[in-house]
Amino acid sequence: MSQVTNVTPVEVLIPARSWKNDLRGIKVVWQRELIRFSRDRMRIVTSLIQPILYLFVLGTGLSTITGSLGQFNMRTFLFPGVITLAVLFTAIFSAGSIVWDREFGFLREMLVAPVRRSAIVIGKVCGGATVAALQGFILLVFCGLVGIPYNIALITFVALELILIALMITAFGVMMAARIKTFQAFMALTQLVMLPMFFLSGALFPLANLPTWLQILTHINPLTYAVDLVRRTVFSFIDVPPGAEIFTHGVMWGDWRVPIWAEVLVIIGLGLIMLQVAIAAFKRL
Amino acid sequence: MSLSGVNTSAAAVEVTNLVKKFGDVTAVNGIDLRVERGETFGFLGPNGAGKSTTISILCTLLDPTSGHAKVAGHDVVKERDDVRRNIGLVFQDPTLDVYLTAEQNLRFHAELYGVPRDVMKPRLKQVLEMVGLWERRDGIVQTFSGGMKRRLEIARGLMHSPRVLFLDEPTVGLDPQTRASIWGYLDQLRQAEDITIFVTTHYMDEADNCDRIAIMDHGQIVAIDTPTQLKAQVGNDRVEVRTPDNTAAAVQLAERFSVDATVVGDVVVLSVPDGEQFVPKLFSQYDGTIQAVAVFRPSLDDVFMSHTGRDIRESDAPVRGMGMPPMMGRR
Query: Does the beta carbon of B173 lie under 8 angstroms from any beta carbon of chain A?
Result: no
CA distances from B211 to B80, B109, B223, B226 (A): 27, 29, 14, 6
Q: Which of A32, A36, A113 sits opposite B113 (nearest CB)?
A: A113
Spatial separation of the C-alpha atoms in residues B111 and B126, rounded to whole Å: 17
Average pLDDT value for residue range A185-198: 90
CA distance A147 to A161: 20
Contact B2, B8 (CB under 8 A): yes
pLDDT at B327: 37
Spatial contact of B239 and B272, defined as CB atoms under 8 Å apart: yes
pLDDT score at A213: 93
CA distance A63 to A147: 13
User: Mean pLDDT lowest for which of A41-50, A107-116, B17-26?
Assistant: A41-50
Quote the mean pLDDT of chain B: 84
Give the H or E element holding residue B328: none
Chain B residue with the nearest C-alpha to that of A6 = B192
CA distance A172 to A281: 12
**pLDDT, mean of residues B198-206:** 84
Instruction: Calculate the average pLDDT of chain A.
Output: 89
Q: What band does A8 get if pLDDT is binned at 50, 70 and 90?
A: low
Average pLDDT over residues A251-262: 89
Does B98 reach chain A within 8 Å, measured CB to CB? yes
Q: Is the CB of A42 inside 8 Å of chain B's CB atoms?
A: no
Which of A173-187, A236-250, B167-181 is the most confident on average? A173-187
Cα A135 to Cα A32, A46, A83, A131: the distances in Å are 17, 11, 8, 6
* Selection from A163, A161, A120 nearest residue A278 by Cα: A120
For residue A3, name the pLDDT band (cuts at 50, 70, 90): very low
Q: Which helix (H) or strand (E) holds B263?
A: strand B260-264
Whether A36 contacts chain B with CB within 8 A = yes
* Longest Cα–Cα distance in chain A: 84
Answer whether B100 sits within 8 Å of A32, measured CB to CB.
yes
The Cα A36–Cα B140 span in angstroms is 12
Contacts of B318 by beta carbon, 8 Å cutoff, 6+ apart? none
A207: β partners = none
Looking at CA atoms only, how far is residue A51 from chain B in angstroms? 27
Q: How far is B293 from chain A (nearest CA, A)?
A: 34
Residue A130, pLDDT > 90, answer: yes
Rounded to 5 degrees, φ, ψ at B239 are -115, 125
**What mean pLDDT do residues A212-225 have?**
93
Residue B221 in 3-state DSSP? strand
- Give the model's confidence band at A80: pLDDT under 50 very low, under 70 low, under 90 confident, else very high: very high
Mean pLDDT (whole number) for B124-132? 91
Distances A201 to A109, A205, A218, A260 between C-alpha atoms, Å: 38, 9, 6, 16
CA distance B95 to chain A (A): 4
B149 part of contact set with chain A, CB < 8 Å: no
Res. B317: pLDDT tops 60: no
Cα-to-chain-centroid distance, residue B104: 30
In the predicted structure, residue B322 carries a pLDDT above the cut 60: no
Listed residue (B107, B118, B195, B197) closest to B159, CA to CA: B107
Question: What is the mean pLDDT of the segment spanning A167-190?
Answer: 92
* Candidate from A41-55, B135-149, B262-276 with smallest mean pLDDT: B262-276
Cβ-based neighbour number of residue B276 at 10 Å: 11
Check pLDDT > 50 for residue A247: yes
Q: Which of residues 65-104 of A touch B (CB under 8 A)?
A: 101, 104
Of the candidates A144, A145, A137, the one whose C-alpha atom is nearest the C-alpha of residue A230 is: A137
DSSP class of residue B266 equals T
A35–B contact, CB cutoff 8 A: yes
Whole-number pLDDT of residue A44: 84
Confidence at residue B8, expressed as pLDDT on a 0 to 100 scale? 43
pLDDT tens per residue, range A82-122 = 999 999 999 999 999 999 999 888 998 999 899 999 999 99
- pLDDT band for position B172 (cuts 50, 70, 90): confident
C-alpha–C-alpha distance, residues A259 and A15, integer Å? 48
Write out the DSSP string of chain A. --TTTTSPP----PPPP-HHHHHHHHHHHHHHHHHHHHH-HHHHHHHHHHHHIIIIIIHHHHHHHH--BTTB-HHHHHHHHHHHHHHHHHHHHHHHHHHHHHHTTHHHHHHTSSS-HHHHHHHHHHHHHHHHHHHHHHHGGGGGGGT----HHHHHHHHHHHHHHHHHHHHHHHHHHTT---HHHHHHHHHHHHHHHHHTTTSSS-STT--HHHHHHHHT-HHHHHHHHHHHHHHTTS---TT-HHHH---EETTEE--HHHHHHHHHHHHHHHHHHHHHHHHT-
Q: What is the chain B residue with the closest CA to A120?
A: B112
Q: Do A227 and A203 meet the contact criterion of CB atoms below 8 Å apart?
A: yes
Cα B244 from Cα B231, distance rounded (Å): 32
The residue that leads in pLDDT, B44 or B134, is B134
pLDDT digits (tens, 9 = 90+) for B275-297: 888 888 888 888 888 888 888 87
Share of chain A above pLDDT 70, in %: 97
Average pLDDT for B209-228? 90
Q: Is the pLDDT of residue B319 over 70?
A: no
Q: Which residue in B has a C-alpha nearest to residue A27's C-alpha? A: B111
pLDDT score at B235: 74
Place B311 in a pLDDT band, splitting at 50, 70 and 90. low
Q: Taking Cα atoms as reference points, which of A194, A123, A171, A186 lies closest to residue A277?
A: A171
The type of residue at A270 is L
Residue B329 pLDDT > 60: no
Write out pLDDT tens, residues B64-82: 999 999 999 999 999 998 9
**Residues of chain B contacting residue A111, judged by C-beta atoms under 8 Å apart:** 61
Interface test with B, best of A1, A10, A118, A121 (most B CBs within 10 A): A10
pLDDT(B9) > 90:
no
Partner B contacted by A10 (CB < 8 A): yes
> Does position B263 have pLDDT exceeding 50, yes or no?
yes
